[in-house]
Chains A and B, each alone.
Chain A
Amino acid sequence: MNPSPPPPPPRDPDLLEEALGLGRGGSPPWRLAFVEDCVETSGAFVLHHFLKRALSTEGDGTVVFLGLAQPFSHYDRVLRKMGCNLSVQRNKNKLHFIDLLNLEFLGEQKLSNEKGENDREIGFMDLYNRILRSIEAIRSKDNNGGWTTIIIDDLSHLEIAAHGSVKHVLDFLQYCRSLTSEMDCFLVILNHEDIHSSDEALQMLSHLDYISDILIKAETLSTGIAADVHGQMTVVIKDAPGGLIKKLHSFQFKVKENGVEFFYPGSRF
């Protein structure tokens, strides 16, 4: 007589999903999430997580992805290991990948004069229109009831493309933010905290901190690097943009090829 197979171990609750207040496959209860990482710990896996979640079969989400940091092939391979085929999703019109790897708004010669400024503005306006068109293209098809997430990976590249003009990038972000209410979208932005932060970088970060509903911070372990823990994560949920901190979650993570493991400090050996 064969003993009945042991029941599968209960699936660990996904601490990140919990912290972000996400149900299974549903749309998030917030509008703008800001992911901040540092040199030692990349926060790109959070974007992968959002991407997979939005495109999963359970949810009816769609994604507009601004790929500035990596080519499509990179995301395709990473997400494939996580069980999500981006090429198929793209063909299904659920994912619009805007390849901005070579984004540069103007020639260097025009940097100083008036025209240079205009070129930058035109460049950002074009980009905004591309996002708008992508959202409309997604909405026009069968995905009417779905929710759309705009993911920007990552913001510092936009700053470079604008030749360091923080002003223009912030303007652009305001436009993107307006999309969240106008077009009913969700915005996820990745940016880096620099170890040698200058005042200008801080200005950008503090502004983003202010306008975001949720702040996700990936850092190295405060106690050091360990082989089985890759870093720690802090999720700050705010009352309203610029409001008080409503909730604060803190946990550790280990990045794997097929996903990320989240756990509370000291709960893994």
Chain B
Amino acid sequence: MATAADGRLLGARSANTSSFSRARSSPSAVLPSPPNPGVKVGPNGATFVSSGIPDLDRILGGGFLLGSLVMVMEDADAPHHLLLLRNFMSQGVVHRQPVLFASPLKDPRAFLGTLPSPVSLSKEHRQRDTLVDHNQQDQEKGLRIAWQYKKYFGDQQSSQIHNRDVKQEFSNDFDLRKALERQHVQYIESMSIQDIPRLTILRDRCSNFLSGLPRSDGGNLSAGRIAIQSLCAPQCGYAEMVCIIVYTEPKDSISGLGLGCLYQVSEINYSLFKCGCCGNVSHFISFACISEEMAAPGRYIVVYEDKDMAKLLTGYQDMLGLLHVHKVAHNNSQVPTVLEASTFSLKLQKRRSLSQLQNMMDDGFPGLFKHTTNSQLTHLQSPKLLVSQECFFMGCNHSMRAMELGTKILRLLFIVSLSTSAA
């Protein structure tokens, strides 16, 4: 009698009653971090890939959620949406992640020539790097001495080395003036959407690409990136079917293997998009990934130029435009990780420190109360994207356009600076 009861108890215990069973089963809990530098494990079992802009990664709470779909809405007047696309792809190349690029251009290869290359490191970085190199050399020396015991070392040592790599390499700075070398670019799989008569074919290409990715084993997560440029461009005549590809494509993604997607939707053709079979576009993005482990809502970014904001900001001439984040993906949690719906400004700027930028902002928004500021001061040594994050409480009488954008009071201003002085 008692034994039967015990048996039942044991049975009940084995049936997933412990609230800590996740830690036991999750491979990420065993390994301190995945050995892949291009993939970062965040809180709540979320996995990130870098957007290619370090400060944007930081603002988004770690980068693009692996398995999520990012929609970038282009502004017809401003070309800087391409910054996001290029950096996203370049970062993938740097991490040796397979990249699929689909574009409405006749020759998508030509676009690959414009991808930025990672920036050469500044003096500080170099110093730090040499230090690291010394350490590594010491370690290697140790390894050389004990080379015959190598087999006893196991994975631990190598994972430590990788950990350091993760810190260094998760997100690179890119020099927008320098093109990525040809030999790297040739690994990007590219295709022209114009050649594809039906979206199902594009979808099949994407799923073929996904199935060709190396499967993840244990804690080693692998990621692939799919970048689709101007999906709703007039030259591809299937705007009304867009939701189909968004919906079904990630279903083929393998469990434990995510993809970072970047879709660009031209704002001109947004009406076309709306006329499609479902008007709820903003929410398409929220069911982007449908793999077992990391189905995730996505992000929805709009890049546009804001004429009314120009009156508010004195430094508007230097700015490329504004970046409006509508929605931030979160996985396995109901708490919004980052302030959703925030506006950032993208800026092209010469060598200038952040403190000066802040002053400029204060001049620009005379009636503003600064909420938080915790970015470190960095002098730009080489052309790269730098993002500073400032939060402001805006006064009540700011432009109607700003009101309309939904963020209403608290805004994040996001400044991407491009210094033209060479390293």
Contacts and interface: CB of A to CB of B under 8 A. Distances in A.
A associates with B: yes
Given A194-B281, A225-B410, A157 B335 contact: no
Interface stretch (B143-151, B170-178, B208-216, B243-251): B243-251
A77 interface: yes
A78 B251 contact: no
Interface stretch (A41-49, A178-186, A243-251): A41-49
Interface string A141-161: 000000000000010110111
Interface stretch (A23-31, A68-76, A125-133, A209-217): A68-76
Nearest to A257: B335
A83 B67 CA distance: 27
B17 A220 contact: no
Interface in B303-346: 326-327, 331-336, 339-342
B22 interface: yes
Interface in A210-246: 220-227, 230
Interface stretch (A9-17, A55-63, A196-204): A196-204
Contact of B45 (A40, A77, A197): A77
Interface in A65-93: 68-71, 73-74, 77-78, 80-81, 85, 87-88, 91
Contacts of A222: 408
Nearest to A194: B280
A224 B251 CA distance: 36
Interface residues of A, number: 54
Interface stretch (B184-192, B286-294, B413-421): B286-294
B82 interface: no
B277 A255 contact: no
Nearest to A226: B410
A239 to B, nearest CB: 30
Chain A interface, >50% SS class:
loop
A137 interface: no
A1 interface: no
Contacts of A41: 340
A164 B276 contact: yes
Nearest to B412: A225
Given A87-B16, A104-B248, A225-B408, A77 B278 contact: no
Interface in B173-204: 198-200
Contacts of B359: none
Contacts of B276: 164
Given A71-B292, A77-B22, A256-B335, A200 B279 contact: yes
Given A77-B44, A108-B244, A255-B336, A220 B341 contact: yes
A183 B211 CA distance: 44
A225 B336 CA distance: 12
A81 B19 CA distance: 9
Interface in B367-386: none
B350 interface: no
A39 B334 contact: no
A198 B279 contact: yes
Contact of A45 (B270, B334, B394): B334
Contacts of B270: 196
Nearest to A192: B283
A116 to B, nearest CB: 12
A88 B15 contact: yes
Nearest to A101: B290
Contacts of B274: 196, 198
A92 to B, nearest CB: 10
B389 to A, nearest CB: 14
A226 B339 CA distance: 9
B251 A74 contact: no
Nearest to A164: B277
A225 B342 CA distance: 9
A197 B279 CA distance: 7
Contacts of A69: 286-287, 295, 297
A2 interface: no
Given A39-B326, A69-B286, A224-B409, A101 B277 contact: no
A81 B332 CA distance: 10
A201 B279 CA distance: 6
A196 B282 contact: yes
B293 A257 contact: no
B407 interface: yes
A227 B248 CA distance: 36
Interface string B1-25: 0000000000000011101001000
Interface in B349-401: 394
Closest 5 CB pairs of A and B: A164-B277, A224-B409, A224-B408, A198-B279, A40-B341
Interface of A: 39-42, 44-45, 48, 68-71, 73-74, 77-78, 80-81, 85, 87-88, 91, 101-102, 104, 108, 154, 156-157, 159-161, 163-165, 192, 194-198, 200-201, 220-227, 230, 255-257
18 contacts: A39-B341, A39-B406, A73-B332, A77-B44, A78-B332, A87-B16, A102-B248, A102-B290, A108-B200, A160-B247, A161-B247, A165-B277, A195-B326, A195-B406, A201-B279, A201-B280, A227-B339, A255-B336
Given A39-B283, A102-B290, 7 more contacts: A40-B326, A70-B295, A74-B332, A78-B332, A225-B340, A257-B334, A257-B335
